[in-house]
Amino acid sequence: MKRIDEMYDVKLHDPYMDRSHYKDPTICPKCGLVFHNKRWVRNEELKKKFEASGTEIAYKLCPACKKIEDRYPLGILELRGPYLLNQEKKQLILNTVRREAANEEFRNPLARIMQIKEEDGRVVIWTTTESLARRLGRVVYKAFKGDLKISFSESNKFIRVLWERE
């Protein structure tokens, strides 16, 4: 079992997180997040309050919905190896991934899974933040052992997390 993390303290530049692009308040028409006081929050009451107050509101996709629209992941987690041939085990892993993603989205509403694709026995998961891909990789590694490798993509635009088990 091994774990290689080439970018433990490195933070990727997120071109979608330039806060000056957004007026305060902005509401995302797709997912309903509110941008207020330099933060994106999921807060129905705040959203209703703004909509009822007559404040001038900007409607613009939040960084997460924009990445999904542009198909621009910041993290790609790939699961592979013969271990996944066992459907039951694969489902357990995917349940773990989804549960952890829900936890993370609670902490950071901009952290989301963009898509989960299965191809040739591999599972490829795109995420809107690098930290979510990293976290999902670590959680799978912790629960299911195997090998974990975290590195930059060749383009340096996203991180690649590879988990593999025989």
Residue 157 CB, shortest distance to Zn ion, in Å, is 21
For the bound state, the minimum distance from the C-beta of residue 30 to Zn ion, rounded and expressed in Å, comes to 5
Which residue lies nearer to Zn ion by CB, 65 or 133?
Answer: 65
Contact yes or no for 104/133 (Cβ under 8 A) = no
Q: How far is the CB of 41 from Zn ion (least distance, A)?
A: 12
Cβ contacts of 79-83, under 8 Å, gap ≥ 24: 79/122, 79/123, 79/124, 79/125, 79/140, 79/163, 79/164, 80/121, 80/122, 80/123, 80/162, 80/163, 80/164, 81/146, 81/164, 81/165, 81/166, 82/165, 82/166, 83/144, 83/146, 83/165, 83/166
Q: Output 62 or 159, the one with its CB closest to Zn ion.
A: 62
Q: Which is nearer to Zn ion, 60 or 80 (CB)?
A: 60
Of residues 12 through 41, those in contact with Zn ion by CB under 5 A are 28, 30-31
Residue 162 sits at φ, ψ, to 5 deg, of -115, 125
Counting contacts by CB under 5 A, is residue 140 touching Zn ion?
no
Query: What mask of x and - would describe binding to Zn ion in positions 40 to 69, judged by CB under 5 A?
Result: ----------------------x--x----
Residue 1 token pair: 């079992």
Provide the binding-site residues for Zn ion, judged by CB under 5 A: 28, 30-31, 62, 65
